[in-house]
């Protein structure tokens, strides 16, 4: 990270990624580059493979073809000569701890308090002391505006609050990349804003983010680049304002006419 | 938003509340008659048992209830129950995890175990364990096809008590495996995903995230199994172990030719233990209900929610000064 040409090396390179479930090929040929500090929004109709692609980046799903490189490291595999070896679960976990993920359905641990949710991975995975992890967790909670909820259980929070805790939980691992899988799709409309505001702040602070979303306003305002996926391929990508205002492909036009 | 209600209705203030309903409650004559008949039947049975039936022999019940041989046997029954259940829970969890494993051999072995131990009567299994020393006369430790390092006669190595524990535990493990498996499957897959995405290992997410949550589903049927095990220990006479509660009271009655009071004594002891277990289960269930809605809500109240939202508020409190006068 401290190398001088750091900003020149992309954070994420996806190269001709293919993923199938049985006979159904979800990702046909996805190539995408995300530079450090960049925010990329991925849009597209449901079933287009957006979430699957996101889950491939932290190896929750195994690739069937192509490769994904995060911070110069091949994800899920090791190359030796001309052979590719699958990583051991422990090595895959090692890669995941630097990639934060926020889910559509929050997936907070319901049997733990907000604070315990956030310090779980730092203490268990990174072996941080409980005091250090707690101090950091309270900082992060203040950052997402929930300092007074540290002792509450997730079930007593609103959806928007739960999602903000989930973001704080991911940030507690000091990730170099954040993946957001439709973070506002399960929220009541009036709670969407508070989560987007936290994400905007995160983008402003220079976090590299890949966001699968239906929030076109967020994409237009925050994203450095917008990717439209359909049928397992990237149909169109580029400057968000440009893509949203002047879509080139018919499929993009058809999709945007429905959602805008 | 608090003014929206007064805007819709013409109610001037909170002091004028709607009148509560003062209805005459519905009568339930049949319910009452059935209850009275039931009370009469139960009372008649108790009166009859206490006065008319000398074979119950209540003085003998009192005499044997705290007989030292009986209380010692009650202790053996508790030991059998606890040891067999601990063994069954450990082995059952292992088999449950094996059944959920992607490895087909582990899966297959777990399935065959279940098939055999759930598919044959526990009494038959206990008789088999009693015959262990007949089938396998010696137990030896060492590398196969070489001189063993140590050899024991089976009879000396394992006492009848431990044969009974093993027999009960191995049978019960098959049932516990299914209970634990159901518990694990009841946890939202998103939980595994979230812990995996945080870099936790399979063991870490199982032990710290999945199993604690599955406890809510696992504990009630396990409580059932403990109570069931307490009573199943009365079958250890098949091994044959004769120091447990039921076998001991039966042996005493064989000497006194007075079986009924001793059956009552044994039943009282079983009921006593069952009652203790039910209380324990209640507290365990409460402990693992943490984090479910309406249990132990943290200091933050719903009222504080709006204050904590960092978004710019678009509320304009001064925008509707005339709303109250709408009527």
Residue B14 confidence class, pLDDT cut points 50, 70, 90: low
* CA pair distance B201, A89, nearest whole angstrom: 7
User: Could you tell me the pTM of the whole model?
Assistant: 0.77
Residues of chain B neighbouring A111 (CB-CB closer than 8 A): 212-213, 288, 290-291
Going from N- to C-terminal start, the domains of chain B cover: 71-290
User: Any idea how long chain A is?
Assistant: 260
Candidates B188, B197, B296; nearest CB to A101: B197
CA of residue B128 relative to chain centroid, distance = 28
Residues of chain B neighbouring A107 (CB-CB closer than 8 A): 188, 190-191, 193-194
Candidates B193, B198, B308; nearest CB to A97: B198
Flag whether pLDDT at B2 surpasses 90: no
Whether B212 and A121 lie within 8 Å, measured CB to CB: no
The rounded percent of chain B whose pLDDT value lies above 70 is 85
Neighbour-count burial for B1-40, b at 16+ CB within 10 Å, e otherwise: eeeeebeeeeeeeeeeeeeeeeeeeeeeeeeeeeeeeeee
* CA pair distance B116, B128, nearest whole angstrom: 13
- Flag whether residue B195 sits within 8 Å of chain A, measured between CB atoms: yes
Of the given ranges (A111-115, B266-270, B271-275, B316-320), which has the lowest mean pLDDT? B316-320
Whether B202 and A89 lie within 8 Å, measured CB to CB: yes
The answer to whether the beta carbons of residues B79 and B164 sit under 8 Å apart is: no
pLDDT tens digit string along A86-108? Answer: 999 999 999 999 999 999 999 99
Over residues B240-252, mean pLDDT: 93
Q: Which two tokens stand for residue B54?
A: 């000398």
Shortest alpha-carbon distance between residue A250 and chain B (Å): 36
Over residues B314-320, mean pLDDT: 38
Shortest alpha-carbon distance between residue A243 and chain B (Å): 28
Over residues B269-295, mean pLDDT: 84
Whether B190 and A103 lie within 8 Å, measured CB to CB: yes
Smallest CA-to-CA distance from B191 within A109, A60, A173, A186 is with A109
Measure Cα distances from A219 to A159, A239, B123, B148 in Å. Answer: 21, 10, 68, 73
Q: Is the peptide bond before B28 cis (omega within 30 degrees of 0)?
A: no
Over residues B266-293, mean pLDDT: 88
Q: Which two tokens stand for residue B181?
A: 């498996």
Residues of chain A neighbouring B195 (CB-CB closer than 8 A): 109, 120-121
Query: What was the pLDDT predicted at B302?
Result: 40
Helical segments of B186-295, H only: 189-197, 202-204, 211-232, 245-256, 259-288
Residues of chain A neighbouring B202 (CB-CB closer than 8 A): 89
Query: What was the pLDDT predicted at B46?
Result: 94
* CA pair distance B74, A161, nearest whole angstrom: 54
Query: What was the pLDDT predicted at B325?
Result: 40
The answer to whether the beta carbons of residues B249 and B71 sit under 8 Å apart is: no
Whether A194 and B310 lie within 8 Å, measured CB to CB: yes
Of the given ranges (A69-73, B87-91, B273-277, B321-325), which has the lowest mean pLDDT? B321-325
Run of H or E including B61: helix B58-65
Phi/psi of residue A17, each to 5°? -75, 130
Whether B308 and A149 lie within 8 Å, measured CB to CB: yes
Whether B197 and A154 lie within 8 Å, measured CB to CB: no
Residues of chain B neighbouring A146 (CB-CB closer than 8 A): 308
Residues of chain B neighbouring A194 (CB-CB closer than 8 A): 309-311
Partner A, chain B 98-117, Cβ-Cβ below 8 Å: none
Residue B290 confidence class, pLDDT cut points 50, 70, 90: confident
CA of residue A224 relative to chain centroid, distance = 15
Shortest alpha-carbon distance between residue B177 and chain A (Å): 23
Query: What was the pLDDT predicted at B3?
Result: 45
Residues 6+ apart with CB under 8 A from A87: A59, A76, A77, A78, A95
Flag whether pLDDT at B91 surpasses 80: yes
Query: What was the pLDDT predicted at A103?
Result: 96
Over residues B172-201, mean pLDDT: 95
Query: What was the pLDDT predicted at B309?
Result: 38
CB atoms within 10 A of CB A83: 8
What fold is seen in the domain B71-290? MetI-like fold (1.10.3720)
Helical segments of chain A, H only: 50-57, 89-96, 114-124, 130-143, 159-171, 189-204, 216-222, 240-245, 250-259
Chain B interface disruption, residue of A92, A120, A145, most B CBs within 10 A: A120
Residues 6+ apart with CB under 8 A from A141: A114, A115, A118, A147, A149, A150, A165, A168
Residue B8 confidence class, pLDDT cut points 50, 70, 90: low
Whether A125 and B296 lie within 8 Å, measured CB to CB: no
Whether B297 and A156 lie within 8 Å, measured CB to CB: yes
Chain A interface disruption, residue of B193, B199, B213, B300, most A CBs within 10 A: B199
* CA pair distance A53, A60, nearest whole angstrom: 10
Residue of B nearest to A193 (CA): B311
The four Cα atoms A202, A204, A206, A207 give a dihedral, to 10 degrees, of: 20
Shortest alpha-carbon distance between residue A14 and chain B (Å): 19
Neighbour-count burial for B304-322, b at 16+ CB within 10 Å, e otherwise: ebeebbebeeeeeeeeeee
ipTM of the complex: 0.91
Smallest CA-to-CA distance from A1 within A176, A119, A151 is with A176
Flag whether pLDDT at B326 surpasses 50: no
Over residues B8-24, mean pLDDT: 72
Whether A125 and B200 lie within 8 Å, measured CB to CB: yes
pLDDT tens digit string along B95-147? Answer: 998 998 889 999 999 999 999 999 999 999 999 999 988 888 888 888 888 88
User: How many CA atoms lie within 13 Å of B103's alpha carbon, on the beta-carbon side?
Assistant: 7
- Flag whether residue B189 sits within 8 Å of chain A, measured between CB atoms: no
Flag whether pLDDT at B247 surpasses 50: yes
Over residues B288-303, mean pLDDT: 53
Shortest alpha-carbon distance between residue B303 and chain A (Å): 11
Q: Which residues of chain A have pLDDT under 70?
A: 1-8
- Flag whether residue B317 sits within 8 Å of chain A, measured between CB atoms: no
């Amino acid at each position: 990270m401290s190398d001088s040409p750091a900003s020149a090396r992309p954070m994420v390179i996806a190269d001709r990624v293919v993923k199938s479930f049985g006979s159904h090929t979800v990702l046909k040929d996805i190539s995408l580059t995300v530079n450090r500090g960049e925010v990329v929004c991925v849009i597209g109709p449901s079933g287009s493979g957006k979430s699957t692609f996101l889950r491939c980046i932290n190896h929750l799903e195994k690739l069937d073809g192509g490769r994904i490189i995060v911070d110069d490291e091949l994800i899920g595999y090791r190359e030796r000569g001309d052979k590719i070896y699958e990583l051991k679960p422990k090595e895959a976990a090692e890669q995941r701890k630097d990639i934060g993920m926020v889910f559509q359905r929050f997936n907070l641990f319901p049997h733990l308090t907000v604070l315990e949710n956030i310090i779980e991975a730092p203490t268990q995975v990174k072996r941080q002391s409980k005091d250090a992890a707690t101090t950091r967790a309270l900082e992060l909670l203040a950052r997402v505006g929930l300092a007074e909820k540290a002792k509450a259980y997730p079930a007593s929070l609103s959806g928007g609050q739960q999602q903000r805790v989930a973001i704080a939980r991911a940030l507690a691992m000091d990730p170099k990349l954040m993946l957001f899988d439709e973070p506002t799709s399960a929220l009541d409309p009036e709670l969407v804003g508070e989560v987007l505001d936290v994400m905007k702040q995160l983008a402003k602070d220079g976090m590299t983010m890949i966001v699968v979303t239906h929030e076109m306003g967020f994409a237009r305002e925050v994203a450095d680049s917008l990717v439209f996926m359909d049928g397992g391929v990237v149909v169109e990508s580029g400057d968000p304002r440009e893509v949203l205002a002047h879509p080139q492909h018919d499929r993009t036009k058809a999709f945007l006419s429905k959602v805008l | 938003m608090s003014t929206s209600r007064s805007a819709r209705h013409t109610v001037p203030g909170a002091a004028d509340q709607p009148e509560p309903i003062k209805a005459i409650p519905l009568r339930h004559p049949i319910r009452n008659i059935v209850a009275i008949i039931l009370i009469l039947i139960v009372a008649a049975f108790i009166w009859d048992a206490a006065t008319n039936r000398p074979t119950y022999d209540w003085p003998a019940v009192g005499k044997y209830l705290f007989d030292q041989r009986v209380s010692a046997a009650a202790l053996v029954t508790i030991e059998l129950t606890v040891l067999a259940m601990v063994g069954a829970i450990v082995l059952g969890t292992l088999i449950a995890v094996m059944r959920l494993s992607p490895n087909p051999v582990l899966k297959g072995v777990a399935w065959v175990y279940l098939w055999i131990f759930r598919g044959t009567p526990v009494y038959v299994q206990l008789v088999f364990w009693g015959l262990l020393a007949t089938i396998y006369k010696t137990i030896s430790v060492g590398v196969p096809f070489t001189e063993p390092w140590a050899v024991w006669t089976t009879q000396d190595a394992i006492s009848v008590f431990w044969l009974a524990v093993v027999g009960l535990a191995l049978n019960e493990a098959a049932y516990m495996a299914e209970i634990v498996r159901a518990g694990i499957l009841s946890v939202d897959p998103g939980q595994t995903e979230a812990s995996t995405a945080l870099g936790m290992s399979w063991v870490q997410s199982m032990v710290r995230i999945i199993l604690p949550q599955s406890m809510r589903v696992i504990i009630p049927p396990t409580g059932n199994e403990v109570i069931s095990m307490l009573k199943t220990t009365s079958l250890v006479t098949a091994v044959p172990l004769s120091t447990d509660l039921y076998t001991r009271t039966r042996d005493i009655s064989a000497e006194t030719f007075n079986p009924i009071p001793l059956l009552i004594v044994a039943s009282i002891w079983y009921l006593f233990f069952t009652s203790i277990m039910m209380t324990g289960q209640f507290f365990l269930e409460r402990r693992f209900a943490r984090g479910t809605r309406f249990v132990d809500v943290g200091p933050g109240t719903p009222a504080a929610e709006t204050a904590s939202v960092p978004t710019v508020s678009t509320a304009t409190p001064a925008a509707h000064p005339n709303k109250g006068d709408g009527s």
